Amino acid sequence: RQSLKIGMLPADGIGREVLPGAKAAILALGSSIPKTEFIDLLAGFEYFTKTGTALPDETVQILQSECDCALFGAVSSPSRKVTGYSSPIVALRKKMDLYANIRPVKSVSMNPKGEPGVDLVVIRENTECLYVKQETQTVGEHGKEARATRLITERASRRIGELAFKMALERPRKHLTVIHKSNVLSITDGLFRETVRAVPTLPGMDGKYDDVTVAEQLVDSAVYRLFREPEIYDVMVAPNLYGDILSDAAAALVGSLGLVPSVNAGDSFVMGEPVHGSAPDIAGQNIANPLAAIRSAAMMLRHIGYGDGADRIERAVDSVLREGKVLTPDLGGKSKTSEVVDEVTKRI
């Protein structure tokens, strides 16, 4: 690549405060990555309240036709049902076919509470399950009745399963846990479980995954065990909603949601996204933790082939954390967002 075009979608709340930090970290890499252009793109709940659309067609079009990758901030949720509103991040994942949400959760030694060592990745299917948003409402004998469809397909389960096995194979422990609730959802979660487990037996695999050990766990007991013995997990693969919940649960183990990055990845595009939300309660105060966004930028760069740049960013973040002097309030520190960003970029 001669140059790099990165779509920037800060969206709402602290999304707007952390994305500049990600940009600063990327710029700090200097000439070790191609000349980078950042393209600001519109999306979000606030944008919806102004215009009636949460994700303008133009944003999707520019992402598809001009950008090499993207960074998303966070999106606010309406506090009451708002007609016509639909989450732009859910829509983006589907429209760009970003079928995998990869969420690594790892404790750094600075961890103030001495919590157990956590080093796991949640791989969340990103396009279906209850997120297909097929909902209806009728009125029955006893009042309103609402129904949502939960879709699980063999195709989506297989591709997320393939990615999960691939990632497990690349990690030292090579352990994969398949999350489901097939004791209740025997057909949908049954399909997910069987399809993921069958990945190593697909034509052409030829024993490729022989070294990966596979376990499975019901989602309720997975959350329980995640709290009690997080060290048993390496790679976890889960349908969309369970993955959403599990990654927040795992984030609680490493001190703050403000540390946990993710990428939304498809076969031809990747979008980094901190796992935290738009945090309206602290927005506008310059105290949001920028590290999840910065780490998401690193993951995104790694994904498109700039592993060295990603390493430099990640090492800088880890060293700031390990030192523990310049931290935002969510980690018990007193520093501002911008101070943490400066501290990281200085070390890149």
Q: How far is the CB of 252 from a copy of itself (least distance, A)?
A: 3
Give the integer Cα–Cα distance in Å for 72 and 66: 16
Looking at residues 143 to 172 of the shown chain, list those that interact with a copy of itself (rule: CB under 8 A): 143-155, 158
For a copy of itself (CB under 8 A), the number of binding residues is: 62
Q: How far is the CB of 246 from ligand IPM (least distance, A)?
A: 10
Structure tokens given for 212? 């990966």
Provide the annotated active-site residues: 131, 181, 220, 244, 248
Judged by beta carbon distances under 5 to 8 A according to partner kind, the member of ligand IPM, a copy of itself, none in contact with residue 284 is none
Q: Are 72 and 11 in contact, with CB atoms under 8 Å apart?
A: yes
**CB hemisphere CA count around 32 (13 angstroms):** 16
Looking at residues 308 to 327 of the shown chain, list those that interact with a copy of itself (rule: CB under 8 A): none
Judged by beta carbon distances under 5 to 8 A according to partner kind, the member of a copy of itself, ligand IPM, none in contact with residue 254 is none
**CB hemisphere CA count around 331 (13 angstroms):** 32
Q: How far is the CB of 191 from ligand IPM (least distance, A)?
A: 18
Q: Is the dihedral of CA 294, 234, 276, 188 positive or negative?
A: positive
Give the integer Cα–Cα distance in Å for 275 and 280: 15
Selection from 237, 225, 148 nearest residue 199 by Cα: 237
Nearer to a copy of itself, 59 or 247 (CB): 247
What letter would DSSP give residue 174?
Answer: -
Judged by beta carbon distances under 5 to 8 A according to partner kind, the member of ligand IPM, a copy of itself, none in contact with residue 149 is a copy of itself
Give the integer Cα–Cα distance in Å for 150 and 193: 15
Which positions lie near a copy of itself, rule CB under 8 A?
A: 77-78, 81, 85-87, 90, 130-131, 133, 135-137, 140, 142-155, 158, 181-188, 190-191, 194-195, 218-221, 223-228, 241, 244-245, 247-249, 251-253, 257, 277
